[in-house]
């Protein structure tokens, strides 16, 4: 069984195409699978689209969160609900394609705990690329990430790693930080990356610095940061839709 987790926020225009591509790929691979769409309190018609998809397809599960908690917390919610031997995470914007899923699966069968798909050619702007390099440096120095490994949102995780990650009770969640706290048995595989078809990224340099600071607070081993940790619920589930 393969579980594909999609954190959803204002992506009503892309969800159907994304799910149809996943279904096509799983059919070609003849894999048993589930698609878990976690709606992070979207403001567009994503809720309606998810309900329709889940009603029409037995492999699709919809989870609606009561309020917006961010992509990482939504991912953790979906991962906790998953039942697969492997868990794949993919964004809702179609910049990564499900047709590269076989590459991830082939690589993780070589014995890795997690495999990240890294773009053959990135379709991000220059500021996003600079920010990505900065993030990698933080992970290298503070979270013991192997320097040759690149991290992305398109990845596959083994069940043994998932069982450790779902124990994360931090109010601030970052999946890759939790990953490197538990394993360095990680690999990369080249995948395609496309320009965003709809909407705009909410990425910014100030948000990046805030993100990195929170990662240090919640995932580094520095005792100095422990008093700064806040305690709050990771998410609240409003509704689960199953065919």
Is residue 164 predicted with pLDDT exceeding 70?
Answer: yes
The pTM of this model reads 0.92
Which whole number is the average pLDDT over 110-130? 80
pLDDT at 200: 64
d(CA 177, CA 159): 17
Domain map (residue ranges) of the chain: 2-242
Query: CA dist 137 to 142, 172, 204, Å?
Result: 8, 20, 18
Residue showing tokens 């899923």: 101
Give the least confident one: 32-46, 50-64, 192-206.
192-206
* Domain spanning 2-242, CATH architecture: Alpha-Beta Complex (3.90)
- Phi, psi for 158 (deg, rounded to 5): -80, 160
Which whole number is the average pLDDT over 59-74? 97
Q: Are 61 and 36 in contact (CB under 8 A)?
A: yes
Give the least confident one: 88-97, 113-122, 179-188.
113-122
């Amino acid at each position: 069984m393969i579980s594909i987790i999609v954190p959803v926020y204002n992506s009503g225009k892309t969800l159907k195409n994304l799910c149809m591509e996943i279904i096509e790929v799983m059919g070609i691979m003849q894999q048993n699978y589930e698609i878990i769409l976690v709606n992070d309190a979207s403001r567009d018609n994503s809720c309606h689209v998810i309900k329709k998809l889940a009603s029409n397809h037995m492999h699709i599960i919809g989870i609606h969160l009561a309020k917006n908690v961010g992509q990482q917390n939504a991912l953790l919610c979906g991962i906790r609900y998953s039942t697969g031997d492997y868990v794949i995470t993919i964004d809702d914007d179609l910049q990564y394609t499900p047709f590269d899923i076989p590459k991830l699966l082939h690589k993780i069968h070589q014995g890795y705990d997690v495999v990240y798909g890294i773009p053959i050619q990135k379709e991000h702007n220059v500021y996003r690329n600079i920010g990505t390099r900065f993030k990698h440096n933080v992970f290298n120095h503070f979270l013991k990430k192997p320097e040759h490994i690149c991290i992305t949102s398109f990845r596959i995780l083994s069940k043994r790693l998932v069982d450790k990650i779902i124990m994360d009770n931090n109010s601030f969640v970052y999946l890759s930080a939790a990953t490197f706290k538990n394993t360095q048995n990680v690999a990369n595989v080249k995948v395609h990356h496309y320009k965003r078809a709809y909407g705009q990224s909410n990425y910014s340099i100030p948000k990046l610095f805030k993100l990195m600071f929170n990662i240090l607070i919640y995932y580094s081993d520095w005792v100095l940061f422990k008093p700064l940790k806040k305690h709050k619920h990771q998410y609240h589930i409003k509704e689960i839709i199953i065919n």
